[in-house]
Amino acid sequence: MNSPSVYVLSDSVGETAELVIKAGLSQFTNGNYKIQRIPYVEDKATIDETLEIVKDKTALIGYTLVDPELRNYMNKRAKEMNIEVVDFMGPMMEAMERTFKHEPRLEPGLVYKLDKDYFKRIEAIEFAVRYDDGRDPRGISRADIVLIGVSRTSKTPLSQYLAHQRLKVANVPVVPEVDPPEELFRIDKSRCIGLRISSDKLNEIRKERLKALGLGDHATYATLKRIDEELTFFNKIVDKIGCEVIDVSNKAVEETANIILQKYRKDKSIID
């Protein structure tokens, strides 16, 4: 089978139609296909141009157009030219109009204008990546939450989990040989969360990590002596900051995240 070609027309960005098309194509190909997206369609001329391109090809057109005039024009012209098209938006909107007894707004791209949470979540995820593992201390002053802990206390997965809850999270590793950034001691301590773990649990986790990397489990990184040094240093740091500490020894990431979320919402409600 030749590589399928699909054209996506939309009066917005075309993301919705493309996701549906990809789901359908997954039943026919192992990722060997071509999708050409044509966004922000506002006139019949763009429809005509696309149909002219497709007419001599073995291709399908999928479209999301909220304007009924453009939808009807697309269907009419496609039938005349014997081109296969799929209307993703029209039948659904018509069914909703019949069921809800309410006319649609017919405003393109409305889902993106309404879904502010979507953009806030993306921004938070990008923030967590940018300020992961203390790579840029400037993130500390900009973060909603700052996680502090020794290596292998789930700082990164926690940051990502909380980012999906639209919180900007920076995380800072604690290492005895490196002075923590001064920004940690300047921000409100309520924004800092220390992640404590028992030495035995950390020893177990680090040994497994070394095995996964194909290394022996006797490296200094996983010895109890080294771990105790790091945890002692960690305790000094969080005591100096005066921040809340959560014991993550036997907690799943989701459980720790829920504790942090409850604290954040409680603190925010007090401030508000």
**pLDDT tens, 168-182?**
999 999 999 999 999
Burial-class residue 119 by CB neighbours within 10 Å (0-12, 13-18, 19+).
Answer: exposed
Sheet order of strands, 34-38 included:
34-38, 5-10, 59-64, 85-87
Contact 4, 84 (CB under 8 A): no
What's residue 199's pLDDT? Answer: 96
What's residue 13's pLDDT? Answer: 81
pLDDT digits (tens, 9 = 90+) for 75-106: 999 999 999 999 988 888 888 889 989 888 77
What's residue 111's pLDDT? Answer: 57
Q: Which residues of 219-243 are buried (b: 16+ CB within 10 A; e: fewer)?
A: eebbeeebbeebbebbeebbeebeb
Looking at the domain that runs over 5-114, which CATH code has it been given? 3.40.50
What's residue 1's pLDDT? Answer: 54
What's residue 219's pLDDT? Answer: 85
What Rg value do the Cα atoms of the chain yield, rounded?
27
Determine the 3-state secondary structure of 143 from DSSP.
Answer: coil
Q: How far is CA 250 from CA 174, 204, 205, in A?
A: 20, 12, 12
Contact 102, 108 (CB under 8 A): no
Q: What does the alpha-carbon distance between residue 171 and residue 159 come to, in Å, rounded to a whole number?
A: 7
Does domain 116-271 correspond to CATH entry 3.90.550?
A: no
Q: What does the alpha-carbon distance between residue 217 and residue 272 come to, in Å, rounded to a whole number?
A: 49
Closest C-alpha among 34, 25, 114, 17 to residue 74:
17
Confidence of residue 109 (pLDDT cuts 50, 70, 90): low
pLDDT digits (tens, 9 = 90+) for 117-132: 777 888 999 999 999 9
* DSSP H helical ranges for the chain: 15-25, 44-54, 68-80, 90-100, 110-114, 116-130, 138-142, 155-163, 199-212, 224-241, 253-271
Q: Outline which parts of the chain fall under CATH 3.40.50.
A: 5-114, 116-271
What's residue 191's pLDDT? Answer: 96
**What does the pLDDT average to over 21-30?**
87
**What does the pLDDT average to over 133-142?**
93
